[in-house]
Amino acid sequence: MHVVVVGKLVPDLVEDLEVDASGRGLDRQFLKLVLNEFDEHALEEAVLLKEAHGARVTVLAPEAEGVDDALYTALAKGADRAMKLVGLGEAPSSRQIAAALASALPSLGFDLVLTGVQAADDLDGQVGMLLAGYLGLPHVGVVTGVELDPDGSRARVRKEYPGGWLAELEVQLPAVLGIQAAKQPPRYVPVSRVRQAMKEHTLEELSAEPVPVPRLSVRRLSKPEAAGRAEFLDGSPQEVAAQLVSILVERGLVR
């Protein structure tokens, strides 16, 4: 059983995001990149499958500032192999990544591809779902748990529907799953373990042939025009609390 986790690094949303001079892209100069949080869940689910079924886990991510750290961390968490997808240039779109993987993955061989359900920068679609479309493989997104059949030919997955409903589906492998949440929160590994992984492993490279893909023409990237932006209350916590509670009293919400 070979599980391939496809991840990507995305801007840390806690930081300020600035638009570049062209007005159509991100200013990437001081951008801090982190592994997409849903890819963390995909990795966790893969490691859980390894622990339960002895699957081999390969983690793959397009090259980007900080990708080495992310891949070594994945190795420290239990992945067996880590590969950088190279040749796509800076900040490839989801479509470019998916198209490149659709041609590169078959030679790698896999039973299951796990990706995060979505990423904050997938303007042109989610990598996993695009990949499934390209490869014509069965797919399920918004997954919150994967169980494998003992013989490894099928997976039983839990998929979310709106309103807290879940569906249980069975898919024959190979398949592509978009993970929303692993069965348990992603594990933490201390830096010492990551350092150890750096000594024990080398990162491999998978070269991607840039495949022509339909492109979106971005006319403008901007802060949202707030329909009604909040009125801000200033002061010490006590002053703010007094103002806010007065508003609630006025509206009959505190009586």
Ligand X SMILES: Cc1cc2nc3c(=O)[nH]c(=O)nc-3n(C[C@H](O)[C@H](O)[C@H](O)COP(=O)(O)OP(=O)(O)OC[C@H]3O[C@@H](n4cnc5c(N)ncnc54)[C@H](O)[C@@H]3O)c2cc1C
Residues 11-30 that bind another protein (CB under 8 A): 11, 13-14, 16-17, 19, 26
Of 142, 175, 197, 206, the one binding ligand X (CB under 6 A) is 142
DSSP 179: E
* Structure token digits, residue 189: 């590994």
CB of 196 to another protein, least distance (A): 27
Could you say whether residue 118 binds ligand X (CB under 6 A)?
yes
| # residues contacting ligand X (CB under 6 A) | 5
**Residues between 47 and 86 that touch another protein (CB under 8 A):** none
CB of 31 to another protein, least distance (A): 11
**Residues between 156 and 185 that touch ligand X (CB under 6 A):** 180
Please, which residue, 103 or 202, has the CB nearer to another protein? Answer: 103
DSSP 83: E
Alpha-carbon dihedral 64, 15, 124, 182, rounded to 10 degrees: 80
Yes or no: say if 148 and 141 are a contact pair by the CB < 8 Å rule: no
Yes or no: say if 217 and 95 are a contact pair by the CB < 8 Å rule: no
CA 84 to CA 42: how far, in whole Å?
Answer: 17
Which amino acid is located at 60 in the chain? L
CB of 162 to ligand X, least distance (A): 9
- 3-class SS at 117? coil
Please, which residue, 84 or 159, has the CB nearer to ligand X? Answer: 159
* Structure token digits, residue 255: 């009586």
CA 241 to CA 247: how far, in whole Å?
Answer: 10
The values of phi and psi at residue 215, to 5°, are -110, 150
CB of 35 to another protein, least distance (A): 15
**Residues between 190 and 249 that touch another protein (CB under 8 A):** 214-233, 237-238, 240-242, 244-245, 247-249
CB of 204 to ligand X, least distance (A): 29
**Do the strands 81-86 and 112-116 form a parallel or antiparallel pair, or are they unpaired?**
unpaired
Yes or no: say if 7 and 47 are a contact pair by the CB < 8 Å rule: no
**Residues between 113 and 172 that touch another protein (CB under 8 A):** 117-118, 120-126, 129-142, 156, 158-172
CB of 188 to another protein, least distance (A): 12
- Measured from the Cβ of residue 152, the count of other Cβ atoms closer than 10 Å reads 15
Binding mask 1-20 for ligand X (x = CB under 6 A): -------------x------
Could you say whether residue 108 binds another protein (CB under 8 A)?
no
Please, which residue, 117 or 171, has the CB nearer to ligand X? Answer: 117
Binding site for ligand X (CB under 6 A): 14, 117-118, 142, 180
